[in-house]
Amino acid sequence: MVKYKRWYDHDPLLVEVMELLRNFKDDLREQARVFLDKIESQVGKDAVESFYERVKHVNGNRWYDHDPVLSRAVELLRIVPQDIQRKAAENFLKSLNDQGISIDVLKTNEE
């Protein structure tokens, strides 16, 4: 069995999405908000908040822990089954494309 350092390392698409969020968190924060809104509409805001209170890290030492929207979105993504993680990553990238946000442009601006 292969061991991964991070929970998302099993899927290159998830790695790409997480790196985009990490490097462009201010630019992509709204996408994380849309993801949360979709989850909340299906399971309820109280359920999301209750879940987050149980799983959030007390120290807050991860890069996304300092932004409540990103933190909630990443924690939700972390606990869903891998097929749902992949689908969420695909939808995230499609949403960026639909809004005319080019991943290549983001990466070029980073350099």
Please state the domain count of the chain. 1
Quick check: 21 and 88 in contact, CB under 8 A?
A: no
Name which of 38, 37, 69 is nearest 52 in CA terms. 69
Within a domain: 1: no
> Quick count: other Cβ atoms within 10 Å of Cβ 24?
18
For residue 45, what are the domain limits?
12-110
More confident residue, 56 or 29: 29
Q: What is the pLDDT of residue 56?
A: 77
Within a domain: 32: yes
Within a domain: 4: no
Within a domain: 63: yes
The stretch 20-43 carries a mean pLDDT of 85
pLDDT in tens, 73-109: 888 888 888 998 899 889 888 888 888 877 776 666 5
Q: Rounding to the nearest 10 degrees, give the CA dihedral for residues 8, 9, 12, 14.
A: 10
Q: What is the pLDDT of residue 15?
A: 93
> How does residue 8 score in pLDDT terms, banded at 50, 70 and 90?
very high
pLDDT in tens, 57-81: 777 788 888 888 888 888 888 888 8
Quick check: 95 and 8 in contact, CB under 8 A?
A: no
Q: Angle at Cα 9 formed by Cα 7 and Cα 14, nearest 5°?
A: 95
Within a domain: 5: no
- pTM here? 0.76
Within a domain: 6: no
* Separation between Cα atoms, residue 43 and residue 66, nearest integer Å: 24
> How does residue 11 score in pLDDT terms, banded at 50, 70 and 90?
very high
Within a domain: 3: no
Within a domain: 106: yes
